[in-house]
Amino acid sequence: MAARRVFTTHAGRYGQRRLRAQLRREGHEVGRQRLRGWLSSSGLRALCTRSGTRPPRTTQADPQAVAAANKLATWPAATAPNQIWVGDITYMALATGQWAYLACWRDAFSRRVAGWHVSESLHTDLVLTAFNRAVAVCQPPPGLLVHADRGSQYTSDAFTTLLDRTQAIARLSRPGNRYDNALAESGWSTLKTELLPRGACFADLEEARFELAEYLDHYCNTPRLHSALGYCTPLEIELHYRFNLPLAPCPQAPDHLNFLRVHFYPTTSLPKQFAHGFFRSNRSHESIYYEICNIV
């Protein structure tokens, strides 16, 4: 059955709504009640959030730092890739008893993970490395708006200097307002639920890097449907913007990865170019996509 195949392919990460959206993309019309009943009768249950150990505090403001003003309310919503990036830091438990800290930058237009870095330290280098990776892959134009909370990493001299060098504009959340950086923070619960189901943890930092590369670079940006994008993927949104490709579930919507292969890499096999994350090969599918955008 198609529903079981989709559920298994996505490792139980798709609930009823996202599962139904994927089935519709494949041409299978099924009602919500029928699908919900089938999931229940089949004993299939999507992953859900669970409470765990008390987390560390990842946002610690520097009282001596001068924070950039919050321009969130005065700037219009992103209408193209690389106009606005949002960043945040989260934590994940390791079997060693330590914490791994993940810094991530996400594109506000396509929800694509632009760059990330994981470390056992909350030092400013965590944010700097993630941002440098995002810049290297995406090559944003001058005037990129960068939004984050008021953590000391984002108000540091090192990060401010990096923004000046890349001609980016900083904006920081208002003190005590948890909604200002909601776009960056909204994906953390989903990430931990789908990547570390039922209270699991990474064995060590190397395993965390490996699994995060597969999840963030490959799964989140390419096959995973995002409800905020009308159940499209970040790659589909960006290709729609760049090449005016129809979006699923339009019958004319192409296989977007296959589109890239056929038009730009006809002699290269699809699995070798796109099916591996950053740590599994020398290049991720994002780097290939942005190379294409710089050519055309």
The pLDDT, as a whole number, for residue 280 is 34
Read out DSSP for the chain?
-HHHHHHHHTTT---HHHHHHHHHHTT----HHHHHHHHHHTT---------SPPPP-----TTS-PPP--TTTSPPP-STTSEEEEEEEEEEBTTS-EEEEEEEEETTT--EEEEEEES--STHHHHHHHHHHHHHH-PPTT-EEEE-S-HHHHSHHHHHHHHHTT-EEEEPPTT-TTTTHHHHHHHHHHHHHHSGGG--BSSHHHHHHHHIIIIIIIITTT--BGGGTSB-HHHHHHHHHH-PPPTTSTT---HHHHHHHHH-TTS-HHHHHSS-TTTSS--HHHHHHHHHHH-
The pLDDT, as a whole number, for residue 66 is 47
The pLDDT, as a whole number, for residue 146 is 92
The pLDDT, as a whole number, for residue 36 is 75
Mind listing the pLDDT tens digit of every residue in the chain (296 residues)? 787 887 777 777 777 778 778 777 777 888 777 777 777 777 776 666 444 445 555 555 545 544 455 444 556 788 999 999 999 999 998 888 899 999 999 999 999 999 999 999 999 999 999 999 999 988 999 999 999 887 888 989 999 999 999 999 988 865 555 555 566 667 778 888 888 876 678 889 999 999 999 899 888 888 888 888 888 888 888 888 887 766 665 544 445 555 555 555 554 444 444 433 322 334 444 555 555 554 43
The pLDDT, as a whole number, for residue 232 is 85
pTM to 2 decimals? 0.70
